[in-house]
Structure 1
């Protein structure tokens, strides 16, 4: 029986917290929980690898504050990490997830601003957005397979910390 790239076993399960970026060098499952936050999943079609960020706010206005909590830093850094690892921009494609708005929590729609910054930077870098699950009022639990570029999205009314491994209370 022949094996294919997608038959590679997943070797890493990684839960991505806000303000972090993960680039998989071997097949991995990256999961996260998003409310107004946004995650950009980048995938190299040729190399069959991917990475994901998880940012809370759209812009760091001061250069010294440009961390992965901010979309304008997190997206550029994920692209840089992938190209430094050998990916070419022409082989990258993106999926944008998250950016919900809950008027009961905030008067300002930060989620929409996060979505806009992701779309803008990816367009500027000429990276095709092949899928989006953004906006609305529901939070999302997401699971990204870096080997196949598959994303599972579960929309929920209430995000619970204990919903993800390592499981904690409130499950």
Structure 2
């Protein structure tokens, strides 16, 4: 079983000797198959959520905590609030017990000095508050710093492996980071945001 956003394509990786599924920004995936889910992060965050009772897990890749007041796309997977709810609810729909979920997170780097620092910090703060608010077991984190990361998640075992990458971004990636910083300026980051998180529906268990 492999479910998620968009068209998830597998490719064989001889180094891992497994099929890999690569996620882009705004994607998520849930699986119980012997595959690996991977993505590359700058100031974005990936949350890896594992259900040990089902030997099943999922990962997302979000750009910002939530949309600004003028943004009509608040239900986009690009935003942490929606990305987390969809990921957790997908696991619950597949029979995972909510109180057994284990979360590991990484990303939130300052990869473009002066541009993405606020974005990375906001994303790191958001995911920690989300775990606390949702009473999720945040077992491990690798957040901050100034290096991009590649994360590789095994949905059957819950293993999250992170590789720090050389600090180098293409012009296209720099533009994305700059756009994220502009979006963050429009967002209201205050204590009231916790109310927007919304608890994942226990009825789906």
TM-score, normalization: structure 2?
A: 0.68
Gaps of 5+ in 2: 1-16, 171-205
Aligned residues, how many?
152
Q: Deviations over 1:62-90 (max 9, x none)?
A: 58412110011101111111111111111
In 2, the alpha carbon distance for the partners of 1:159 and 1:49 equals 34
Counting strand residues as a fraction of each chain, which structure ranks higher? 1
Inter-CA distance 159–53: structure 2 relative to 1 (3 Å threshold): farther
Residue 57 of structure 2 corresponds to 50
Residue 203 of structure 2 corresponds to none
Q: Deviations over 1:33-81 (max 9, x none)?
A: 0010000000001111000000011112458412110011101111111
Runs of 4 or more consecutive aligned structure 1 residues displaced over 6 Å after TM superposition: none
Residue 88 of structure 2 corresponds to 79
Counting helix residues as a fraction of each chain, which structure ranks higher? 2
In 1, the alpha carbon distance for the partners of 2:144 and 2:117 equals 13
In 2, the alpha carbon distance for the partners of 1:156 and 1:17 equals 17
- Corresponding residue to 1:106 among 112, 115, 118: 115
Gaps of 5+ in 1: 1-9, 162-171
In 1, the alpha carbon distance for the partners of 2:127 and 2:40 equals 17
- Corresponding residue to 1:93 among 102, 108, 115: 102
Task: Find the residue that maps to 2:29 and give its secondary structure.
Answer: strand
CA RMSD across the alignment: 2.1
Q: Is the 2:105–2:142 contact (alpha carbons within 8 Å) kept by the matching residues of 1?
A: yes
Inter-CA distance 17–140: structure 2 relative to 1 (3 Å threshold): same
Q: Is the 2:32–2:156 contact (alpha carbons within 8 Å) kept by the matching residues of 1?
A: no
- Corresponding residue to 2:44 among 22, 37, 53: 37
